[in-house]
Amino acid sequence: MLDIGGATLDVLIAIAKVVVIFWIASWVAKLARRWVVTEFSRRAFARNSAVLMGRLASIAIVFIALLIVLRMLGANWTALLAFAGAGTVAISLSLQDVLKNFFAGIYLLFERPFRVGDSIKIRDVEGTIQGIDIRTTLVKNLRGELVLVPNATVFTEILTNRSRYGTRRIDVTITKVTIEPETVYARLKDAFAGMQCVRQPLEWPKVTLMEPDGMTLVWSAFIDGPCDDPAAIANALNGALPDATIEFAAS
């Protein structure tokens, strides 16, 4: 009876230890999740991605608690580590591209080459940063479209941050213009009169080519700070010169 009682007591003590360990782990995991979500939300992480990172942190803490419990119950550490290592290798190989973009995104968050609202150019994509997701960087281009650029591309390619020093220039080529340059300038003044981010006075459009179907003009706009809506510049130009063909090239 004494042996049975002692064994029962040992089992009850072990169960109590397991309950306490998991209770502490759940409490720590909850605090870690809140902290990670708050910190990553401050670093231009998209909200859903910040929440996912918080969940990953909490899962990692619970997993560590599980390993402690298994070891306490007599499991072999070598076997556990070998099993965990094999599983990690298998997951890494199957999710190689996803993990590459994920860790590139983490590095971008800590290095912070840009912030939400900055105007950047990466390869042939130019626009305003909307956030960094788990796999992609979200960019709203000059046409108002949302472009998803893989984080690995942002990490490895040459990136131009046009908002770093507060001013950038947008070069515009306008073709098939059938009105006088003076009229073009007057229309541009009216179109950009209420747009505070476009520096005034405007540059004068330059004629580069004369053809039977119209002129080709080159015009530059200087942007001081980020515009609230990058597509507003394209919309203003299209509204001022609806019959012309307009191409953008920022520098």
Per-domain boundaries in the chain: 2-94, 108-161, 167-250
**Residue 90: its pLDDT value, please?**
66
Please identify every stretch of the chain with a pLDDT value under 70, giving residue numbers as ranges. 1-7, 9, 41-52, 75-77, 79-81, 83-84, 87-95, 165-167, 225-230, 249-251
Domain 167-250: give its CATH architecture: 2-Layer Sandwich (3.30)
**Residue 48: its pLDDT value, please?**
58
**Residue 18: its pLDDT value, please?**
81
**Residue 87: its pLDDT value, please?**
66
**Residue 138: its pLDDT value, please?**
87
Domain 2-94 has CATH 1.10.287: yes
Distance (Å, rounded) from C-alpha 127 to C-alpha 117? Answer: 9
**pTM, two decimal places:** 0.48
Provide the CATH number for the domain formed by 108-161 in this structure. Answer: 2.30.30.60
Cis peptide before 201 (omega within 30 of 0): yes
Sheet (strand 159-161) strand order: 146-150, 136-141, 125-132, 119-122, 159-161
Which amino acid is present at 18?
Answer: V
Helical (H) or strand (E) element with 152: helix 151-156
CA dihedral for 157, 234, 208, 205, sign (positive or negative): negative
**Four-point Cα dihedral 163, 47, 106, 146, nearest 10:** -50
Reported as a single tens digit per residue, the pLDDT across 126-162 is 888 888 777 888 888 877 788 899 988 888 888 888 7
